[in-house]
Amino acid sequence: MSVPHDHAERPARVLAILATIGIAIVIVVLVRSPSANDRPEWVKIAPPLEVPMHPWQWIVIHHSGTPGGDTGSIDNAHLKDRGWEGIGYHFVIGNGRPMERGRIEATWRWRCQYHGAHAGSMPAQAAYNQDGIGICVIGDYQTSQLDAFVEERVARLCALLIQHVPTLSEQHIVGHRDIRQTACPGANVDINRIRYLVRSQLALTAAK
């Protein structure tokens, strides 16, 4: 007995559909998964050419102190809950919840070369707000470990900033806890290690 034509074609159709789904999954993984080639570049974060570069003196590392979040949620909290002009940081780095792991976003403060609101309100912290670039890593690193890929992104961003802002230096990378009484950016963020990674990246760039 012969098999009806549409029944004979069905396995081929199923295989074609499965192949298409497989290709789509591979594409999504390739697009969404961080890779060694997906590195931050100055052209992606540089302020507009018409905006003069501020003579920044410090890079201040923070954590959000929350399991997850993104630039928008921090901006909303700083604007509505604290009554500020908006997000107090110049850069935010995601941890994958929900902001993509290792993603670096420059905020309006960096694009406008505008002072920060991240160091503290006491006179001793004024210079770090005025002349300090605030980098916030999403996550609570008092209770969880800093992802190695995210740590590399922090170091890469710091290295890029030092390369293109002549008033910055690796010695002037500090944690929030170094300039006021706070646990931020958490016990599991090693500022000395970040400085070491920055030095390594700068040396690698200089050798090219």
- The predicted model gives 11-32 an average pLDDT of 40
Task: Record the pTM.
Answer: 0.81
Tokens read off for 106: 């420059």
pLDDT of 16 higher than 80: no
CA of 73: how far to CAs of 69, 85, 86, 87, 137, in Å? 6, 14, 10, 9, 13
Q: What per-residue confidence (pLDDT) applies to 35? A: 45
Q: What per-residue confidence (pLDDT) applies to 4? A: 44
Contact 113, 53 (CB under 8 A): yes
Q: Return the domain boundaries, the chain.
A: 52-207
Looking at the domain covering 52-207, what would its CATH class be? alpha beta
pLDDT of 69 higher than 50: yes
Tokens read off for 69: 């979040």
* Residues contacting residue 133 through CB under 8 Å, at least 6 positions apart: 56, 58, 59, 60, 90, 91, 110, 116, 161, 168
- The predicted model gives 135-149 an average pLDDT of 97
pLDDT of 110 higher than 90: yes
Buried b (16+ CB within 10 A) or exposed e, 165-194: beebebebbbbbbebeeeebbbeebeeeeb
**In 3-state terms, what secondary structure has residue 77?**
helix
